Amino acid sequence: MRKFDGVRCCLACGEAVFEEQQIAPTAIRLKPTVIPVEYQHTRLHLGLGKEICLVVLLPGRDLEPLQCEIKHVYLDDKPVFEAVSYTWAGEDGDDSKSRTIQFTNGAIMHVTINCEAALLQLRHPSRERRLWIDAICINQTDVTERNRQVGLIDQIFSAPQSVVISIPYAKPSICTNVFCPCSPGSNGLTKTSTHFTNTNSIARSKHS
């Protein structure tokens, strides 16, 4: 009796039998669960000038997740950006950070529903927008840095290319903007919507 590559063969009678090969079970590799971490701000160089953070809102459509980056700039360099003014809390007083935005480094940040709504409305389908929005651009966990940034608010709202004022409302309130899809005679909206006014004069009079 001889065995050749899994075949048992009797040299006397010539009978051959194929043996069943024992196949080692394949190890099941489970993909590790990736738990997103909260975005950590890089500290501003407070001694080098009027440094602020801008959020770069990457292009996207409809219900695609919000994707952002953070850039540091100096106001003295006259950076091009838009400042966003909005209310943190909704009409019901809810200012909880119940929504998340994503960053290109894989981190996330929790924001209010009004902040998310503003970003979704401002997001362009094919180009990025550079924005200053307090909830994202100010490190809320660093008291010293936060106080320094609050002291620059007037300059921040005087420096941008434009100021975007977010005025949230919810149906069934009547909208007087005839070009808005929620106005009478249109299909209407079933979700809370946000109006935006692009103007420098309103913001500057507000902060003067």
Q: Could you report the per-residue pLDDT of 84-138, keeping only the tens digit for each?
A: 988 877 777 777 888 889 999 889 999 988 899 899 989 999 999 999 999 999 9
Question: What are 24-82's pLDDT values in tens digits?
Answer: 555 556 666 667 888 888 988 877 788 999 999 999 988 889 999 999 999 999 999 99
User: What does the pLDDT average to over 188-208?
Assistant: 39
Strand-pairing partners, residue 99, are: 111
- Comparing CA positions, the residue from 81, 204, 88 lying closest to residue 153 is 204
Identify whether the C-beta of residue 162 lies closer than 8 Å to the C-beta of residue 125: no
Structure tokens at 1: 């009796």
